[in-house]
Structure 1
Amino acid sequence: MSRAAIRYAKAILQKANEDNTEAVLFGDMQSVYKTIEDSRELQSVLQSPVIKANDKKEALLKIFSEQSNTTHSLIRILVANKRTSLLGNVAKSYIDLYNDDQGVKVATVITAVPLTSELEDKVMAKVKELTGSQKVTLTNEVDPAIIGGFILRSGDIQYNASIANQLGNLKREFSKSI
């Protein structure tokens, strides 16, 4: 994350705290972040030096017309400061700052196949044990390259229980003994 994106995120979090709308803005920022992450075209538009700032502003305000006035103000400020390319990072930074303020630990679990609800419950229990927090948000990424098992990341904690990791460890052990 760029320092500029974090500064913008802190500023809108402060504004949202003053207006008592931090939860509303959290929903907005999740929507903004997901929309930008899911659209290569939108990412290209935001990065493009060829597209006029006013056109970017109009497009963003249309795309995010359902969002709050604070989100619209953020878009206008980023456009005015020629920083529209930061919008996705500002949204992600806000999400992280909000979760920190709320004491929510965010964990990512990487599995070879999508999590079942039963497995998700087990992973949540492991995250709560590792982080010592009862407020946990879990995201699942699928990566068939890990073969099986899972990799769990939360903050600076990583717990690797993947088969690919175990096979790598075996390979290193065999190569040492030969």
Structure 2
Amino acid sequence: MSRAATRYAKAILQKANENNTEAVVFGDMQSVYKTIEDSRELRAVLQSPVIKANDKKDALLKIFSKQSEATHALINILVANKRAPLLSNVAKSYIDIYNDQQGVKKATVITAVPLSPEMETKVLAKVTELTGSKKVTLNSEIDPEIIGGFILRMGDTQYNASIANQLGNLKREFSKSI
């Protein structure tokens, strides 16, 4: 994240805290981030130096018309400061800062196949046990390259219980003994 995006995120969070709307803005920021990340065309519009600032502002305000006044104010400020391309990063920074404030821990689990609901419950229980936090969000990714098992990431910690990793370890052991 850029420092500018973090500064904007902190400013909007401070304003939301003053108005007791931080949870509402959190929902807005999740929607904004997902919308921009899912739309290559929208990212291109925001990055384009050819499209006028007012056109960008109008488009964003139409797209995010159901969001709160705080989100509309953020869009207006970013466009006025010629920082519209930062909107996605500001939203992501806000989400991260808000989660950190709320004590929410983020974990990513990578599996070869989609997690079953039972497995997801077990992984969440393990993350809760390891972090000591009852508030955990679990992001699930699929990577067939790991063959089986899973990789669990929480902050700087990674627990690799994938079959690909175990095969790699065996290969290293065999090559040492030869």
User: TM-score if structure 2 supplies the norm length?
Assistant: 0.96
1:30 is matched with 30
Distance (Å, rounded) in 2 between the aligned partners of 1:22 and 1:157:
29
1:148 is matched with 148
Segments of 4+ moved more than 6 angstroms: none
2:15 partner amino acid: K
* 1:102 maps to 2:102: yes
TM-superposed deviation, 1:91 = 0.5
2:145 partner amino acid: A
**C-alpha deviations, 1:46-96, integer Å up to 9, x for none?**
111121111111111111111001001101111111111111111111001
1:9 is matched with 9
TM-superposed deviation, 1:165 = 1.4
1:125 is matched with 125
1:92 is matched with 92
Distance (Å, rounded) in 1 between the aligned partners of 2:114 and 2:45:
32
**C-alpha deviations, 1:100-136, integer Å up to 9, x for none?**
1111101111111111110000100111122111111
Q: Aligned to 1:109, what secondary structure does the other structure show? A: strand
Where does 1:61-72 land on structure 2 (aligned, <5 Å)? 61-72=61-72
1:52 is matched with 52
Q: Aligned to 1:165, what secondary structure does the other structure show? A: helix
Distance (Å, rounded) in 2 between the aligned partners of 1:9 and 1:116:
35
Q: Aligned to 1:158, what secondary structure does the other structure show? A: strand
**C-alpha deviations, 1:4-24, integer Å up to 9, x for none?**
111100000000000000000
Percent identity over the alignment?
83
Structure 1, unmatched stretches of 5+, are none
More off after superposition, 126-135 vs 17-26: 126-135
More off after superposition, 87-96 vs 140-149: 140-149
Distance (Å, rounded) in 2 between the aligned partners of 1:155 and 1:86:
24
TM-superposed deviation, 1:141 = 1.2
Q: Aligned to 2:49, what secondary structure does the other structure show? A: coil
Structure 2, unmatched stretches of 5+, are none
